Amino acid sequence: MNLKVNYFENNIVLESDKVQVIEIENKKMFFRFINNLYEIKNGFKLNELFFYNDNNDELDLSNKLEIYTNFFDLDLNSKKNINNLTKFIINNLTDNEKDNIFNIYKKVYKNLISILNNIDLPLSISDSLNVEDIIKLSKISINVKNDLLENLLLIIDLEKIFKVNNVLFFINLKQYLNKDELLEFYKYAIYNNVNIVLIDSQGYGVPINFEKKLIIDSELEEFML
């Protein structure tokens, strides 16, 4: 997968064995680029920024990319993730397992009806729940860790299982991880075939292992490393 940014001199090629790092020291350019990514994520079609495959066919990545900016409050239990988790569970249930779940609910339903019939109030309870509704009632959630790197690896696990996004963008992540942690994160993403891109608002020098880097300095000069 490739990324064309009309206000960059260089096109960006996402490779399966490398992590693309983009360091933009010019603040206006940094904001413009991140803002455009959010617009793509939210379904806007832009002329100045678009993704395309190796056959030069443009790719529609609306709702197919994720952008992480706040590493102090990673929303791993977002509605999107929980819906994906619910769908994954349903798709992996056998017909017999679905019947068992529904039969358990019918017993609960009968008990509730028995109690409600003893209350002198105009109450009702739905008898039309399906297996998906029942699973949602169980309020399954993802256990978030207290360690940033562990949560980042968990993000990769979620993407490996659900395969929702074509690429994940991490904004200014290098402020919070040391070199060894970055390398572990890179290796884990590459091993699990998850495309990640790091975008930073400052320069961090020469690339480390597994990195390919585009630097745009404060004067908008570009360097590919």
Question: What is the tens place of the pLDDT at every residue in 154-205?
Answer: 999 999 999 999 999 999 999 999 999 999 999 999 999 999 999 999 999 9
Q: What is the mean pLDDT of residues 103-122?
A: 89
Q: How is the chain split into domains, by residue range?
A: 2-76+143-224, 81-137
Flag whether the pTM goes above 0.75. Answer: yes
pLDDT digits (tens, 9 = 90+) for 37-49: 999 999 998 999 9
Residue 10 CB coordination number (10 Å): 13
- What CATH class has 2-76+143-224? alpha beta
Structure tokens at 5: 């940014």
Whether 140 contacts 85, CB under 8 Å: yes
- State the pLDDT confidence band at 125, using cuts at 50, 70 and 90: confident
- How far apart are the C-alpha atoms of 63 and 66, rounded to whole Å? 8
pLDDT higher than threshold 80 for residue 51:
yes
| Tokens 């992480």, located at residue | 68
Residue 97 phi/psi, 5-degree rounding, is -65, -40
